[in-house]
């Protein structure tokens, strides 16, 4: 048998053994889970709690084992020691702990990504295993030790990296764990403390690096991050859907993933349509505006207020209210919690006033007056008066009234011009926007927690405990006879069952608990497309991670948000001072050189400073420009789409258009292609998507058609970054369709062709 065939046969046998071990582990965990579930909810509270904990552990392990099925193993290292190390998505060992495969995140696996012929790091040969299903279809060798070059039987091909780059897009991002390059690996494995900024031009793998770094940090700092969690923030819901499968495929299922519009629990915000409003709401000035709006809710009456309590007339004076307010503010507690102090002070003073009036009346001084405090508290006049002075309020209600009632806005926005106040005004029923989310968070921080009944978070928890006890008592009453039959009469009390419910909540993973908790403090935060964040959005995120442990990924040249960053220093220094460091990705893996160079020339001609990462490959097609004389760019789009689909050869084609053309283009294509046309990142069912440049951020497609590129650099429609983003999304082919003037850099480029 020739040596290459023998090598391939050996690798197939070994990989078959790895999958056999994976199946054994799955069967073992399924059996353990079934046994735990079969035990039933009987026994002491501690036994039930332990059973649920084991069940959760087995379920998590099964989810991990299922998620790594595809391309379980992808590499092998032949070392100077004679050992062969297989590198895969997770670590695998035999029952007697003999290691079969090394987790790609383990320190020794770093050699797979970093070793070179000039710095072998003890590696003689790096072998890539190309799998289809559970079978090894091909192997490729990188020979690092010159002495091995004389040996026969080495395998060469187009390269695992180029094969991955030339593969068709599916509408979902794939991991790059088998093709991580040395500069990417160095960033992925960088120390966790502090803020690491990863700057990279289009196609450099910024998002992939961010996701793999999340998986690496969870592996390397498991104990710390298991309890605190990791938050990954992206620019849009489409982007989050695009990347959602990557982390599970890397063996991690515990990362909280959120778009900017969903960082406030219970709120699903829409994009802010007016860039002027987005810029204003994203500015630092909003900190003072929200603070003033909260303070404005603590009002001093202009004159004495007469209150009726059980027929007695009491007086609430402005002096009393001011003194109580000042004492409540001095506690330093948030608004809704400080209100408790305010209310207690005035209730006590009004009760004393009522008692004095009664003692001065004909009623005997020795009468029992213990009921007076409750009479005062229950008085409608008292409740109305105290609420008028200091009303409990939610962040949503505060901002809704602030922006919908001009009188309230005028009262607190003295530093804003009339034109700016008009921009902030909106109807009370307007949907929340992404620019509102950090304002809601700011308000929530100042207001403190409050439940639906107007109480504080502590009061809410007390009410929940009372409700749990009542539910437990009813459950025990219904199951009393059953429990006695099982011989556990008297073992479980209502308090036990309520404690069990609380313990179950406590056993939720950090990710599960963090999702609905606005005050959760994460151990690490990863921000993708970070150049788009406003000052207020950064303020929100830094509040979520007091340790300021961040991975910040983006490209300043691609900034298109009105409140976004023009420099990393300007965006980050207010929050991190000088405690952040910059790393740059220098190689463009996605965009063919012809397209990357055309986009860079356009940006340079428009005065935009861009990173110029080196493209690793040339494309099959140069960029195509279609000039439309009659102005019907959508009609030309429909005419040329068959050509684009043929070139994509089963891949995804994106139409990126100014916002005002998106619906028209989508409707026209839907008439021809029906359900194949969609939005977002696309899918196997939808191989044509129509989106605007903002939604295109972070995504990639086989082919891209850009409509009216000139509008994307017009100051009234967008920024130069919009067109730069649109032009750098394709992995194979780019077409521009224009009836209006082209940006000068593009005109100069294609006039010469």
Question: How confident is the model over 353-401, as pLDDT tens digits?
Answer: 988 888 877 554 555 567 888 889 899 999 999 999 999 999 999 999 9
- Supply the mean pLDDT for the chain: 84
pLDDT confidence of residue 165 = 56
Q: At what angle do helices 720-727 and 593-605 cross, to 10 degrees?
A: 170
207 and 521 in contact (C-beta within 8 Å)?
no
Q: Tell me how far apart the alpha carbons of residues 588 and 616 are, in angstroms, rounded to a whole number.
A: 6
When pLDDT is cut at 50, 70 and 90, the band that residue 640 belongs to is very high
The whole-number average pLDDT for the span 490-515 is 57
Q: Tell me how far apart the alpha carbons of residues 88 and 86 are, in angstroms, rounded to a whole number.
A: 7
Q: Tell me how far apart the alpha carbons of residues 602 and 734 are, in angstroms, rounded to a whole number.
A: 14
Sign of CA dihedral 740, 746, 749, 753: negative
User: How many Cα atoms are found within 13 Å in the side-chain-facing hemisphere of 111?
Assistant: 24
pLDDT confidence of residue 224 = 83
Residue of higher predicted confidence among 189 and 181? 189
pLDDT above 80 (res 213): yes
The residues facing 126 across adjacent strands are 77, 142
Share of the chain above pLDDT 90, in %: 46
pLDDT confidence of residue 706 = 96
pLDDT above 60 (res 159): no
Residue of higher predicted confidence among 659 and 612? 659
Tell me whether strands 614-615 and 135-143 are parallel, antiparallel or unpaired: unpaired
The whole-number average pLDDT for the span 580-606 is 88
Domain spanning 194-267+512-588: CATH 3.30.300.210 = no
Q: How far is CA 747 from the centre of its chain?
A: 39
Rg, C-alpha atoms of the chain: 32
**Same fold: 194-267+512-588 with 593-751:** yes
Lowest mean pLDDT among 1-10, 92-101, 576-585, 633-642: 1-10
pLDDT above 70 (res 171): no
* Domain boundaries defined on the chain: 3-157, 194-267+512-588, 275-447, 457-511, 593-751
Which range is most confident: 172-176, 322-326, 722-726?
A: 322-326
The whole-number average pLDDT for the span 593-615 is 83
pLDDT above 70 (res 495): no
The whole-number average pLDDT for the span 27-38 is 86
Alpha-helix runs per DSSP H in 282-334: 285-295, 318-330
Alpha-helix runs per DSSP H in 563-718: 568-576, 593-605, 633-648, 659-673, 693-696
pLDDT confidence of residue 618 = 83
DSSP 701-717: EEEEEEE-GGGGTSTTT
pLDDT confidence of residue 562 = 84
Lowest mean pLDDT among 87-96, 407-416, 459-468, 591-600: 459-468
User: How many Cα atoms are found within 13 Å in the side-chain-facing hemisphere of 395?
Assistant: 23
Beta-carbon contacts of residue 672 (< 8 Å; ≥ 6 apart)? 638, 641
Read off the pLDDT of residues 100-144 as tens digits, 9 standing for 90 and up. 999 999 999 999 888 888 888 999 988 889 888 899 988 888 888
Token pair for 429: 């029923």
pLDDT above 80 (res 498): no
Q: How far is CA 745 from CA 603, 696, 707, in A?
A: 7, 22, 17
The whole-number average pLDDT for the span 332-346 is 93
pLDDT confidence of residue 514 = 82
Read off the pLDDT of residues 458-468 as tens digits, 9 standing for 90 and up. 555 565 566 66
pLDDT confidence of residue 1 = 39
Q: Tell me how far apart the alpha carbons of residues 728 and 356 are, in angstroms, rounded to a whole number.
A: 79
Q: How far is CA 35 from the centre of its chain?
A: 36
676 and 684 in contact (C-beta within 8 Å)?
no
Q: What are phi and psi of 453, to 5 degrees?
A: -85, 0
Q: If one looks up domain 593-751 in CATH, what number appears?
A: 3.40.50.300
Lowest mean pLDDT among 12-26, 407-421, 488-502: 488-502
pLDDT above 60 (res 732): yes
691 exposure class (CB count in 10 Å sphere: 0-12, 13-18, 19+) = buried
Read off the pLDDT of residues 66-101 as tens digits, 9 standing for 90 and up. 888 988 998 899 999 999 999 998 999 999 999 999
Lowest mean pLDDT among 5-9, 443-447, 549-553, 605-609: 605-609
pLDDT confidence of residue 753 = 39
Torsion angle of alpha carbons 421, 423, 428, 432, nearest 10°? Answer: -130
When pLDDT is cut at 50, 70 and 90, the band that residue 572 belongs to is very high
pLDDT confidence of residue 484 = 45
pLDDT confidence of residue 752 = 39
pLDDT confidence of residue 349 = 93
pTM, full prediction: 0.78
The whole-number average pLDDT for the span 172-192 is 80
pLDDT confidence of residue 182 = 84
């Amino acid at each position: 048998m020739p040596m290459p065939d023998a090598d391939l046969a050996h690798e197939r046998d070994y990989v078959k053994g790895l999958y056999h071990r994976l199946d054994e582990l799955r069967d073992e965990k399924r059996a353990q889970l079934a046994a735990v579930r079969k035990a039933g909810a009987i026994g002491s509270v501690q036994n039930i709690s332990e059973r649920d904990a084991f069940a959760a552990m087995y379920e998590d392990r099964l989810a991990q084992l299922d998620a790594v099925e595809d391309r379980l193993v992808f590499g092998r290292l032949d070392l100077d020691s004679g050992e062969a190390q297989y590198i895969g998505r997770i670590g695998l060992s035999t029952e007697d702990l003999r290691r079969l495969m090394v987790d790609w995140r383990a320190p020794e696996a770093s050699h797979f990504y970093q070793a070179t012929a000039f710095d072998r790091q003890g590696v003689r040969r790096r072998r890539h295993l190309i799998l289809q299903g559970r079978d090894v279809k091909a192997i490729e060798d990188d020979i690092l030790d010159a002495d091995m070059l004389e040996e026969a039987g080495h395998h060469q091909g187009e390269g695992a990296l180029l094969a991955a780059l030339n593969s068709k897009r599916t509408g979902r991002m794939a991991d790059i764990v088998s093709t991580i390059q040395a500069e990417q690996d160095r960033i992925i494995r960088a120390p966790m403390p502090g803020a690491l900024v990863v700057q990279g031009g289009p196609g450099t793998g910024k998002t992939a690096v961010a996701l793999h770094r999340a998986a690496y940090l969870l592996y390397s700092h498991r104990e710390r991050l298991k309890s605190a969690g990791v938050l990954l923030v992206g620019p849009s819901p489409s982007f989050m859907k695009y990347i959602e499968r990557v982390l599970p495929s890397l063996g991690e299922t515990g990362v909280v993933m959120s778009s900017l519009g969903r960082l406030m629990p219970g709120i699903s915000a829409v994009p802010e349509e007016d860039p002027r409003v987005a810029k204003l709401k994203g500015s630092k000035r909003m900190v003072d505006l929200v603070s003033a709006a909260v303070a404005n809710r603590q009002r001093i009456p202009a004159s004495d207020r007469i209150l009726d309590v059980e027929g007695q007339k009491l007086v609430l004076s402005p002096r009393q209210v001011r003194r109580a307010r000042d004492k409540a503010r001095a506690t330093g507690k948030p608004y809704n919690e400080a209100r408790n102090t305010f209310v207690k002070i005035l209730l006590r003073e009004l009760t004393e006033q009522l008692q004095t009036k009664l003692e001065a009346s004909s009623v005997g001084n020795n009468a029992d007056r213990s009921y007076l405090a409750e009479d005062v508290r229950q008085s409608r006049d008292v409740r109305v008066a105290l609420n008028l002075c200091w009303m409990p309020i939610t962040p949503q209600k505060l901002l809704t009234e602030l922006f919908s009632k001009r009188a309230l806005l005028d009262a607190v926005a003295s530093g804003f011009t009339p034109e700016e106040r008009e921009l902030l005004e909106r109807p009370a029923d307007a949907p929340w926007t992404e620019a509102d989310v950090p304002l809601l968070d700011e308000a929530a921080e100042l207001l403190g927690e409050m439940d639906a009944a107007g109480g504080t978070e502590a009061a809410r928890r007390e009410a929940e405990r009372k409700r749990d006890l009542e539910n437990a008592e009813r459950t025990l009453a219904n199951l009393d006879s059953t429990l006695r039959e099982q011989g556990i009469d008297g073992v479980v009390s209502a308090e036990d069952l309520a404690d069990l419910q609380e313990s179950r909540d406590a056993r939720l993973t950090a990710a599960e608990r963090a999702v609905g908790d606005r005050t959760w403090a994460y151990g690490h935060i990863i921000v993708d497309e970070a150049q788009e964040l406003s000052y207020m959005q950064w303020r929100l995120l830094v509040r979520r991670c007091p340790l300021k442990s961040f991975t910040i990924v983006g490209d300043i040249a691609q900034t298109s948000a009105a409140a976004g960053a023009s420099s990393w220093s300007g965006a980050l220094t207010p929050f991190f001072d000088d405690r952040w460091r910059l790393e740059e990705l220098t190689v463009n893996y996605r965009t063919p050189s012809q397209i990357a160079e055309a986009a860079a020339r356009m940006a340079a001609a428009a005065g935009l400073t861009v990173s110029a990462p080196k493209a690793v490959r040339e494309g099959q097609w140069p960029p195509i420009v279609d000039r439309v004389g009659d102005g019907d760019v959508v009609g030309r789009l429909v005419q040329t789409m068959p050509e684009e689909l043929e070139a994509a050869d089963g891949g995804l084609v994106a139409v990126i258009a100014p916002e005002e053309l998106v619906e028209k283009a989508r409707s026209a294509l839907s008439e021809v292609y029906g359900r194949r046309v969609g939005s977002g990142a696309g899918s196997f069912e939808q191989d044509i998507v129509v989106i605007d440049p903002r939604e295109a951020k972070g995504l990639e497609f086989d082919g891209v058609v850009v409509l009216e590129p000139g509008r994307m650099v017009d100051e009234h429609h967008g920024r130069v970054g919009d067109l730069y983003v649109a032009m750098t999304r394709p992995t194979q082919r780019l077409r521009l369709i224009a009836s209006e003037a082209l940006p000068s850099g593009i005109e100069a480029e294609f006039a010469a062709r």
